Structure 1
Amino acid sequence: MALCLAGLQMAIAQANLPGAQKSTSAEEQEVLTLSKNKWGWMADKNTDQLNGLFDDKCVFVHMGGSWGKTQELNTIKGGMIWYKKAEVYGASVNVFGNTAILLNDIDLVAVVGGNEVVHSFMVTEVYLKQDGKWKMGSLTFSQLMRPVKLKIDAPKN
């Protein structure tokens, strides 16, 4: 198990090396841009944009549970989770026909239940191309073992 984890960490590290990156197709770039916009919409609590992005059957997997589109939008709108800042250290996307799988290595600053927290995550986003437009089908947060890299200013009193 430890050998598998070490191999996976090495593969991820090598994939993030500047010389190891592959060229990005226009379709892959479109998904990367959409994902970047999504983080901004989540930080801004822009549920109108997110409603258009999330497929009606979209699923969300968090540290505290999983739910569908309506609950995610209500959670964002109601402030139960405020995705305050996502610092993205690396993003990659693979397109398989009408499906795109995007991985983001992030530190996420969030306000959950009124408390600010910071976690390192590998976020998996699955997009489906429907009628020429990408829609999100799944968003999963997997906590990473690495320490948080983001430097946070202390709250001002």
Structure 2
Amino acid sequence: MKKTILGVLILLFAIQFTYAQEEATKQEIIELSKTKWQWMADKDADKLADLFDDKSVFVHMGGAWGKDREVDIIRSGGIWYKKTDVHEVSVEIIDNTAILLNRITLIAEVGGNEVTNPFEVTEVYIKRAEGWKLGSLSFTKLMGHGDR
């Protein structure tokens, strides 16, 4: 009987510990995403290049491309992510992958013109030995500012 009770207590502790670890990881990803938006606003292409995985992909309203082109576009100001208002955020962890969804309003300058768009943004992060790397950033335009 004592062994059974001890076993149940150990199991409950393990479940609680695993849940706490996952919640901490989710918060880490949310903070990393916030930092990434700030680096984009600051046009800090070097920090972004370090965050982006070499095989990363970026999907925008105007097309899709890889890391080098995304970094070049940010560095040159072709797209300037001036301000990102995050309205909702959620994170799911699957093994060494984190999928973050942001519902945002993005104020950007594209080709010299300021535009404001509501987006659902999907960010995929992969845990590497050196830390989390962004594997994909995909923008889906919403029909209106309040749409979900």
TM-score tier (shorter): 0.7 to 0.9
Does the 8 Å CA contact 2:83/2:108 hold for their aligned counterparts? yes
Point out 4+ residue stretches in structure 1 off by more than 2 angstroms.
146-149
1-side partners of 2:63 and 2:116: how far apart? Answer: 18
Q: Within 5 Å, which residues of 2 pair with 1:51-90? A: 51-90=49-88
CA deviation after TM superposition for structure 1 residue 48, in Å:
1.3
Q: Within 5 Å, which residues of 2 pair with 1:8-87? A: 25-87=23-85
1:143 aligns with 2:141: yes
Higher helix share: 2
What is the TM-score with the length of structure 1 in the denominator? Answer: 0.78
2-side partners of 1:78 and 1:25: how far apart? Answer: 37
1:129 aligns with 2:127: yes
* Secondary structure of the structure 2 residue equivalent to 1:108: strand
1:101: which partner in 2?
99
Alignment length (residue pairs): 127
Does the 8 Å CA contact 1:87/1:107 hold for their aligned counterparts? yes
Larger radius of gyration: 2
1-side partners of 2:24 and 2:129: how far apart? Answer: 17
2-side partners of 1:70 and 1:96: how far apart? Answer: 27
1-side partners of 2:66 and 2:86: how far apart? Answer: 24
Identity, in percent, stands at 57
Does the 8 Å CA contact 1:94/1:101 hold for their aligned counterparts? yes
Does the 8 Å CA contact 1:129/1:135 hold for their aligned counterparts? yes
2-side partners of 1:71 and 1:103: how far apart? Answer: 23
Q: Deviations over 1:98-148 (max 9, x none)?
A: 000000000000000000000000000000001151100000000012236
| Unaligned segments of structure 1, at least 5 residues | 1-22, 150-157
